[in-house]
Structure 1
Amino acid sequence: MYAQGRGLKVTAMSAMVVLALTGFSSGHAQGSRGRHGDDGGGCSSSRQDHDSSPGSPGNGAPRPRPTHTSTPTASPSATPRPLKNGTAALVRCASAADPYAVVEVRNPNGRAAVFFVKMTFKNGRGLVVMSAGDQVSVPAKGRTTYRVSTISSGRVEEIAHCEVDPTAVANW
């Protein structure tokens, strides 16, 4: 009999703890009304209308149901890592016979990226004939061969030397 009484006390105490943790309150006696028109018991909510001005919900008027709108937030894993810069190397310089320089751009990243590649074209005395820069798309961990036209300079015959900035700057 002692064990049964003790078990009943433990069960009753557990039930009270569960009710307290879930926000259930005993409220008012049956038939009485709370301050805001509620009947007292039930689950508590932090989204109750506590406005007591006349004619407002809570004085006998029906309350509008709260709308729950959540703000979407990105998970930490959705934030991409910053891109590393790629490399650019000259494959072939432009000439009067072929007015296109060829550059190979490499992407060290695990996803496709766009890199900015800069080139300088010089004459036989080392003076700059033209400069060029362009965006080059490269697949993940891959490489792309890119042709740079020198036709628009109108000075293709003067080009004797091509230089490529070895750092292909990652844009996106």
Structure 2
Amino acid sequence: MQRRGHTLRLTAVSALVVLALTGFSTGRHGHGHSHSGGGGGCSSSSQDHDSSSSVGKTGSGHYHDYDDDYYGDDTGGSTSGSGGGTYDTPTPTPSLKAAKAKLVSCATEKAQYATIEVTNPNAVEGDFTVRVEFDDKQGTAVADNTTTVTVPADGTARAEVKLVDSYGHPDDGLIFEVHHCKANPVAEPAG
């Protein structure tokens, strides 16, 4: 009796194993069939997966290489952009040296301004402020005024400094008091 029960249990276990194997095999075969359409599809399907996986890796590798190349180009662009950034950042302009100024002519009744010639010692164009003092016979300042002149690199330019009162207004009476003019020999860079 005990032996017979043991046999029944073995039969039941065997049946379950067969069913399990059959179900598994059918699932695998169905899976294989959908890929390869034939028997032994499991093995073939597995190879397809490996091959597909391999192709996928290769494809991925190529894509990655392309991506790297693209990224490399982008990096190059970025470097170029960085170069552009360096280009956009202005190089500090060296400070300008003061220019030399000399009186060409003093104010007259017909031309109520002094003419000054400014010499720029710099290798770049610059703006310079010139100053003129208008004096009477005793050398006392009747008026003084300034103006700004742009002088080319290593060049000269002339500026007209108007005879005006302390408020910056022309005054026809001042010219009769002016005996001579004094130009400041140093024209400082403007600004």
TM bin (shorter chain): 0.5 to 0.7
Is residue 130 from structure 1 mapped to residue 143 from structure 2 by the alignment? Answer: yes
Residue in 1 aligned with 2:175?
156
Show the 5 A alignment for 1:95-110.
95-110=108-123
Q: Rg larger in 1 or in 2?
A: 2
Whether the aligned pair in 1 keeps the contact of 2:127 and 2:150 (CA below 8 Å) is yes
CA distance in 1 between partners of 2:89 and 2:123 (Å): 18
Whether the aligned pair in 2 keeps the contact of 1:85 and 1:168 (CA below 8 Å) is yes
The alignment partner of 1:163 has SS state of strand
Residue in 2 aligned with 1:168?
187
Query: TM-score scaled by structure 1?
Result: 0.54
Pairwise CA RMSD of aligned residues? Answer: 3.8
What percentage of residue pairs aligned between the two structures are identical? 30
Instruction: Give, in angstroms, the shift of residue 102 of structure 1.
Output: 1.0
The alignment partner of 2:127 has SS state of strand
Whether the aligned pair in 2 keeps the contact of 1:95 and 1:160 (CA below 8 Å) is no
Count matched residues.
124
Query: TM-score scaled by structure 2?
Result: 0.49
Instruction: Give, in angstroms, the shift of residue 95 of structure 1.
Output: 2.2
- Aligned match for 2:160, one of 142, 147, 151: 147
CA distance in 1 between partners of 2:91 and 2:110 (Å): 50
CA distance in 1 between partners of 2:163 and 2:93 (Å): 37
Instruction: Give, in angstroms, the shift of residue 150 of structure 1.
Output: 1.7
Whether the aligned pair in 2 keeps the contact of 1:130 and 1:153 (CA below 8 Å) is no
CA distance in 2 between partners of 1:153 and 1:117 (Å): 21
Whose strand proportion is higher, 1 or 2?
1
CA distance in 2 between partners of 1:75 and 1:147 (Å): 37
Deviations 1:21-67 (A, max 9, x none): xxxxxxxxxxxxxxxxxxxxx9xxxxxxxxxxxxxxxxxxxxxxxxx
The alignment partner of 2:176 has SS state of helix
Whose helix proportion is higher, 1 or 2?
2
- Aligned match for 1:93, one of 106, 109, 129: 106
Flag as ranges the 4+ runs of structure 1 deviating above 4 A.
Answer: 69-77
CA distance in 2 between partners of 1:135 and 1:77 (Å): 25
> Does the C-alpha gap of structure 1 residues 95 and 156 become closer, same or farther in structure 2, counting only changes over 3 Å?
same
Stretches of structure 1 lacking an aligned partner (at least 5 in a row): 1-41, 43-68
Whether the aligned pair in 2 keeps the contact of 1:118 and 1:165 (CA below 8 Å) is yes
Instruction: Give, in angstroms, the shift of residue 158 of structure 1.
Output: 0.8
CA distance in 1 between partners of 2:149 and 2:122 (Å): 14
Stretches of structure 2 lacking an aligned partner (at least 5 in a row): 1-63, 65-77, 165-169
